Structures are given as structure tokens and as C-alpha cells.
């Protein structure tokens, strides 16, 4: 068999950070998926170290090269906090918050993308494969192609691509499209996102073609969906260890033996619909007060993007709602909503997933949502019910979940009650199907599939 070709990954963040005199891999789906591929194939990872001060030099990690890209304090503001997170993030999530368009933010976005492209051009071997990730780096494919016409370039967008009428708001829409069309393969989480992109490209750039193949500057650009996944076996095993079993049992006792646990796990982000699901839980308790004895809601929310004003506002709203519900329904020793504003380790999450009866994943819009898949992977005994928003990419695959519209508060309250009363056999059947779907398409399969398309 021919040796697999080395790959160069280009992502906003590097896969490792320094801890004392060692390097530790960062937790996260992308690192889990791609570091094993890099270890066997060799190549490089180009990314930002996470600090404006770090002047880290390139170094060898395992079998591949780590190529840090330096970004100054002022550039982080314009490129990351502003253009990426105040313009692109809300716009790509159906404009849930009004995106802001400020011309002074665009320049740092271009400058930083160019720096990533240059660093990538310098480390990519002749005829190499380059895989660029996410909305921060949409200009890199075309910039890199201009510098290195010999390489194959893939791009994957982790967030949704909006319908063309929304994308049209973007003052730099042509530039973004041309940036992405520099790739040979442009991948999305869902077919809908892929279609939105192809339509926008035909409408606002000279590209022609179909929803799955565009012609641009006498080159073919493949456009397709590659739904991201998780390390199924890791989560299944982590939830089955004696420690996880002990932790899960302890958690159940501490919230009140016999109470049904509703669980949600998110970054504290306005796209995740945390406030609306709390309102739905409150609506359910208002309808049937006795459920306050029988149920408890645990919300784990890790702080995120706090310098951005909308995030600070969101946090206040959620904390007020938690207080309101507890003020109304809690009793001494019997709290209705447990709210943890902190990140948990993957091992801790595995035992919480294991302890939950009903997993609530109700984003207003989400590229995929890996939490839903992680929960499913931990349920080796086929118990537990998943309530999932129809606006998460994951809903395309996880069809046996109870699917909800997160803006319909009463409808969600109905779904919560339905989850509590779902006959055991029905719940087991649904979970068995969900587990098969995630097991068959894990994150390693996802990476292989994309890399096969990229290799052409």
C-alpha cells in the first residue's frame, strides 16, 4: 500500500499548549480527530498559540511540526473578537444577534489570514495536502493557492453557512466567496449549508455549476457535506469505568435519589438556546408543580468569549432565570436548577452524561453539536432520552431523538414531559438506533472521508 501523504492542518488554535517543560494536547474534537492522522502521516499544524505575547518558535511534536502564527493584541481584537465573533458568528447563525459590520475590522481579518497562508505555504511539501478549518480563516484557501499552486487545498466550515439572502448582508461577501473558492474541496456540516454556499457562490461570484460542483477559474471545486462526529469508543469507555459509575451514582444521590435528571452542557453562547430551555422547564413545572419533586435540571455552561458584550448580557439573563426558577420551585435540600458556570473535563462530562435521564440539546442554530453525540455514546445500557433541536446539524443524523423547535416554549415543555413518560421499550429502541448511527460514523471516519476527497 502506498504511504499516506503528509497533511498540513490550518486552524485558529494550535493542538498543544505548554505546561511547565512539556507540551499537552488541548481537549477538543478537532485535536482528537486530526492528531492521530498527523502522527501516522507526518506534516504540520499551523495555528495561533492563544497568547499575543508568546513568541513560540516552530517545534517538532511527535511526528509532525507545530508552526505557531503570531497575532498581536490589536489584531486579536479586530480579527477574532470583532470580525470573527461579532460579524461572522452571528451572521452565520441566522443573525440570532444583529451582526455588526465595521470596516476597520476587515483589515486585521485580511492581514491575519494572509499571515496564516504565508506560514502554511512555507511548511507544505511539494504537492502536499492542506486542510483549512473554520470561519476565522475563510480567505486562506485563495491566498495559499496564489502562493502555492501545486498543493491540494481543502476547507471545512464547522459552523452553518447561512441562506444566501442573509449571506448577502456581508459587505465583503465577494471576498469571502473568492477566498473559499480557492479550495479544491469545500466541506460543510450539512447538505443545507453546502447548498447555501453553492447558491451564494453562483449569485455573488462568477462561479458556475451545480450545488455539488462549481467551476471557478478553470478549476473544479467540490462542495459537499461531511458531518463531524466524536470519538465514540472513548466516550463509551469513559462512561463505563468504575470511577464514572461511582461518580454518576453519587451525583444521583446528591440531587435527590429517584429524581429524574435533565442535563444540558454548552458553551455559554446565545446560539445554544439556554434561556429558552430554562423557560420551557419552568413552563413544565408551572403546569405540574409536583414535577418539582420528581425532576431536577443541571445546566453545565462553560464561560466563552466574555469580552464580547452580547455574551455578558446572555450570562446575566441566564443567571436571572436560574434564580427565578429556584426562587419559585426549590425547597431546602431540593434545588430545581443546578447551574455550573465552568468547563468540565471530558471524564467528568462522561459521568454526568451517564447519570442523566433526559439530555436537552436545544440550540437555536448549531453547525453540528457534539454534545448530543457524546451523550448517545455513553448510553451503553440503551437508557436515556435525547431531546434535540431541529436547528442543530446533528438533527439530520439523530432522527430518533425527540426533535423540538427551541423557539416553541410550550412545545418544548410538552417534549420534556413526553421524555419523562416515554415507554421504556420505545426509549431503548430509539437509543439503539442513535448509538448505531454515531458508532458507524465516528470522528476518525469523518477525517478519513474528508482526506480521501481532498487527495482526489
Q: Which member of 159, 236, 291, 321 binds ligand ADQ (CB under 6 A)?
A: 159
Does residue 366 carry a catalytic annotation? yes
| Choice between 147 and 166, CB closer to ligand ADQ | 166
Name the segment binding ligand ADQ (CB under 6 A); options: 164-172, 235-243, 284-292, 295-303.
295-303
How many Å apart are CA 339 and CA 53, to the nearest integer?
34
> Between 110 and 224, whose beta carbon lies closer to ligand ADQ?
224
Please report whether residue 267 would count as binding ligand ADQ according to CB under 6 A.
Answer: yes
> Contact 400/433 with Cβ under 8 angstroms?
yes
List Cα–Cα distances, 133 to 31, 191, 325, 383, in angstroms: 12, 18, 40, 35
Min dist. Cβ of residue 398 to ligand ADQ (A): 12
For the chain, percent helix, then strand, then coil, each to nearest 5? 50, 20, 30
Verify binding: residue 158, ligand ADQ, rule CB under 6 A. yes
Catalytic residue (one of 158, 231, 266, 441): 158
Residue 343 interacts with ligand ADQ (CB under 6 A): yes or no: yes
Measured distance CA(426)–CA(339) in Å, rounded: 30
The residue behind cell 490589536 is 74
Residue 26 CA: distances (Å) to CA of 13, 19, 29: 9, 11, 9
Nearest alpha-carbon partner for 437 in 373, 379, 385: 373
Of 48-56, 243-251, 361-369, 428-436, the segment contacting ligand ADQ by CB under 6 A is 361-369
Active-site residue 158, yes or no? yes
H/E run at residue 437: helix 424-440
Residue 15 makes contact with ligand ADQ by CB under 6 A:
no
E strand spans, 28-135: 43-48, 59-61, 64-69, 129-133
Only one residue has cell 419523562, namely 420
Q: Can you tell me the distance from the alpha carbon of 284 to that of 336, in angstroms, rounded to the nearest whole number?
A: 12
Q: Is 366 in the site for ligand ADQ (CB under 6 A)?
A: yes
368 binds ligand ADQ per the rule CB under 6 A: yes
Nearby residues of 408 by Cβ (< 8 Å), 6 or more positions away: none
Cα distance between residue 180 and residue 200, in whole Å: 12
Q: Is 26 in the site for ligand ADQ (CB under 6 A)?
A: no
Q: Are strands 219-225 and 213-216 parallel, antiparallel or unpaired?
A: antiparallel
- Number of residues this chain uses to bind ligand ADQ (CB under 6 A): 20
Q: Supply the minimum distance, in Å, between the C-beta of residue 251 and ligand ADQ.
A: 15
The region of 67-75, 210-218, 343-351, 431-439 touching ligand ADQ under the rule CB under 6 A is 343-351
Q: Which stretch binds ligand ADQ (CB under 6 A): 75-83, 233-241, 281-289, 367-375?
A: 367-375
Question: 344: closest CA among 221, 224, 251, 449?
Answer: 251
Query: Which 164-223 positions form the footprint of ligand ADQ (CB under 6 A)?
Result: none
User: Which of the stretches 109-117, 285-293, 299-307, 439-447 binds ligand ADQ when contact is defined by CB under 6 A?
Assistant: 299-307
Q: Is 159 or 356 the residue whose CB approaches ligand ADQ more closely?
A: 159
Strands (E), 230-336: 260-267, 295-302
The answer to whether the beta carbons of residues 270 and 314 sit under 8 Å apart is: yes
Closer to ligand ADQ at the Cβ: 59 or 340?
Answer: 340
Q: Is 265 in the site for ligand ADQ (CB under 6 A)?
A: yes
Does residue 398 belong to the site contacting ligand ADQ (CB under 6 A)?
no
By CB under 6 A, residue 231 contacts ligand ADQ: no
> Catalytic site residues?
158, 366
Residues near ligand ADQ, by CB under 6 A: 29, 158-159, 228, 265-267, 300-302, 343-344, 349, 366-371, 374
Amino acid at each position: 500500500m502506498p504511504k499516506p501523504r503528509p497533511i498540513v492542518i490550518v486552524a485558529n488554535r494550535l493542538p498543544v499548549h505548554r505546561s511547565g517543560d512539556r507540551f499537552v494536547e488541548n481537549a477538543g474534537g478537532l485535536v482528537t480527530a486530526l492528531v492521530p492522522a498527523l502522527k501516522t502521516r507526518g506534516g504540520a499544524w499551523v495555528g495561533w498559540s492563544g497568547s499575543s505575547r508568546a513568541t513560540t518558535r516552530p517545534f517538532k511534536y511527535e511526528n509532525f511540526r507545530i508552526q505557531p502564527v503570531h497575532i498581536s493584541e490589536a489584531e486579536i481584537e479586530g480579527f477574532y473578537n470583532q470580525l470573527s465573533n461579532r460579524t461572522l458568528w452571528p451572521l452565520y447563525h441566522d443573525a440570532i444577534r444583529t451582526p455588526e459590520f465595521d470596516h476597520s475590522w476587515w483589515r486585521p481579518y485580511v492581514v491575519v489570514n494572509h499571515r496564516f497562508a504565508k506560514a502554511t505555504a512555507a511548511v507544505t511539501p511539494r504537492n502536499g495536502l492542506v486542510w483549512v478549518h473554520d470561519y476565522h480563516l475563510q480567505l486562506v484557501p485563495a491566498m495559499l493557492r496564489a502562493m502555492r499552486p501545486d498543493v491540494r487545498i481543502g476547507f471545512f466550515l464547522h459552523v452553518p453557512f447561512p441562506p444566501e439572502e442573509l449571506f448577502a448582508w456581508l459587505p465583503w461577501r465577494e471576498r469571502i466567496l473568492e477566498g473559499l473558492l480557492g479550495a479544491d474541496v469545500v466541506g460543510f456540516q450539512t447538505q443545507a449549508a453546502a447548498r447555501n454556499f453553492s447558491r451564494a457562490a453562483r449569485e455573488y461570484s462568477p462561479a458556475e455549476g451545480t450545488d455539488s460542483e462549481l467551476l471557478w477559474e478553470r478549476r473544479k471545486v467540490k462542495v459537499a457535506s461531511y458531518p463531524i462526529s466524536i470519538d465514540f469508543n472513548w466516550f463509551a469507555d469513559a462512561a463505563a469505568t468504575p470511577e464514572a459509575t461511582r461518580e454518576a451514582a453519587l451525583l444521583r444521590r446528591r440531587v435527590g435519589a429517584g429524581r429524574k435528571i435533565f442535563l444540558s452542557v454548552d458553551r455559554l453562547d446565545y446560539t445554544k438556546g439556554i434561556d429558552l430551555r430554562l423557560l420551557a422547564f419552568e413552563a413544565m413545572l408551572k403546569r405540574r408543580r409536583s414535577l418539582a419533586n420528581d425532576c431536577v435540571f443541571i445546566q453545565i455552561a462553560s464561560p466563552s468569549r466574555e469580552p464580547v458584550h452580547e455574551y455578558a448580557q446572555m450570562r446575566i439573563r441566564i443567571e436571572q432565570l436560574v434564580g427565578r426558577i429556584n426562587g419559585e420551585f426549590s425547597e431546602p435540600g431540593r434545588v430545581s436548577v443546578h447551574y455550573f458556570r465552568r468547563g468540565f473535563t471530558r471524564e467528568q462530562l462522561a459521568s454526568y452524561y451517564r447519570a442523566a435521564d433526559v439530555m436537552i440539546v436545544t440550540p437555536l442554530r448549531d453547525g453540528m453539536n457534539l454534545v448530543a453525540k457524546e451523550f448517545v455514546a455513553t448510553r451503553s445500557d440503551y437508557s436515556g432520552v435525547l431531546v434535540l433541536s431541529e436547528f442543530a446539524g446533528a438533527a439530520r443524523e439523530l432522527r430518533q431523538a425527540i426533535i423540538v423547535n427551541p423557539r416553541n416554549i410550550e412545545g418544548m415543555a410538552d417534549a420534556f414531559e413526553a421524555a419523562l413518560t416515554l415507554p421504556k421499550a420505545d426509549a431503548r429502541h430509539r437509543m439503539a438506533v442513535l448509538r448505531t448511527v454515531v458508532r458507524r460514523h465516528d470522528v476518525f471516519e469523518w477525517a478519513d472521508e474528508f482526506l480521501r476527497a481532498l487527495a482526489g
